Amino acid sequence: MTLHDITQHFGPGRGGAARLGGRTPSAVGAPPSRTRVFAHRGASADFPEHTRAAYLRAIESGADGLEIDVHLTADGELVCFHDFTVERTSDGSGPVAGKTLAQMRRLDICSWKTPKLARTPRFWQSRRLADTYGAPDEQLMTLPEVLELLRGAGRPMALAIELKHPSPYGSRLEDEVLKVLLAAGWDPETSVVPGTRRRGGEAHPIEVSFMSFDPGALLHLGEMVPAERLCSLFDLVTDRSVARQMAKMQVGFGMRPFVAAVLRGTAKDAEALVWNHRAGIAGPGVRYVRQRPAEVRAWIARGSVMRVWTADKPKDVEMLLDLGVAEITTNRPAQVLDQVTAAQSESAR
């Protein structure tokens, strides 16, 4: 099913025409006076990234939103996983795109990292963890499961979905994400998923934004998603980042100039989306901000929202607050939220 088919099936998406000069969908979660804190892959300093436990801990700690990475499996399911292959964070091997959801469920995605609270690896099998954060075989999350988790948060939440490219499925990745969201009641104009009223309580909405390092993915989404909910990701192109990309591509040293040129070109295109108002959220890495504060100030002055990743050190958080960054992505949401609240309470006096 293509984006055109999705639009025809669920109704026209009016958000694609929205730009920064138009009506901005109202934010949910933190008061506008406070910098919002997104939990990077959940509270991933405490628990293994992209697990039910990491997401639940982030919600417990008061994070304004979750940041997740999504891939399509071989049978078309949307799983939350960062890497393109499973080796680093599981006991398996091979690409995520080559596995079915059932095969992904069978992986141990917990044992590679011991939670900060754990004394022994047996912590993951303890009754306390299972009752609070789910059993080990319940840790892999799909996009529909994340939505259900956020609906149970008891307060408005934000969800930042990163589309991982290059994907062997191309733009089908974006289309499948939109299908899941639309089935959950997502409004393309506001990019909000309605909450579920539980036992007479209030229904809390989920504000959805879309992120990618791939400008093409954001342009594709822009046909249906308002610019204010698109986040263009980019970072400095360094020798280390070039070497890391070469390792992923499994190419020799002779390809280094070509790889570096492609990375620089992609980063330039990603920045252009922000300058041209095709993406209302600028998503630079903290290193980029540290070395190019003038660009950050210019984007803020022009009305762009800054969502900076990944800030775990107090000195980095302080720098971002001084610059007026609106959203911070961190592996340590509890600590960063405490610092943000304290700093902004002090400045309000």
Q: Is 124 exposed, middle or buried (CB count within 10 Å of its CB: 0-12, 13-18, 19+)? A: buried
Q: In the annotation, is 204 catalytic?
A: no
Neighbouring C-alpha atoms within 13 Å toward the C-beta of 328? 32
**Residue 167 CB partners (closer than 8 Å, separation 6+):** 71, 72, 97, 173
Quote the CA–CA distance of 324 and 346 in Å, as a whole number. Answer: 15
Q: Is the dihedral of CA 64, 69, 72, 73 positive or negative?
A: negative
210: enclosing H helix or E strand: strand 206-212
**Residue 48 CB partners (closer than 8 Å, separation 6+):** 54, 89, 109, 110, 112, 113, 115, 139
Quote the CA–CA distance of 312 and 330 in Å, as a whole number. Answer: 6
Neighbouring C-alpha atoms within 13 Å toward the C-beta of 123? 17
| Tokens describing residue 160 | 């930042």
Distances 192 to 65, 148, 246 between C-alpha atoms, Å: 13, 14, 38
Query: What DSSP line would sit under 279-299, residue for residue?
Result: -SEEEEBHHHHHH-HHHHHHH
Relative orientation angle of helices 239-249 and 256-275, to the nearest 10 degrees: 110
Can you say how many angstroms the Cα of residue 118 is from the centroid of all Cα atoms in its chain? 27
Q: What is the dihedral of CA 29, 164, 90, 87, to 10 degrees?
A: -150
110 SS3 class: coil
Q: In the annotation, is 9 catalytic?
A: no
Which of 50, 71, 82, 204 is the catalytic position? Answer: 82
Which of 40, 50, 204, 220 is the catalytic position? Answer: 40
- The label of the residue with tokens 């660009």 reads 295
- Which amino acids are annotated catalytic? 40, 82
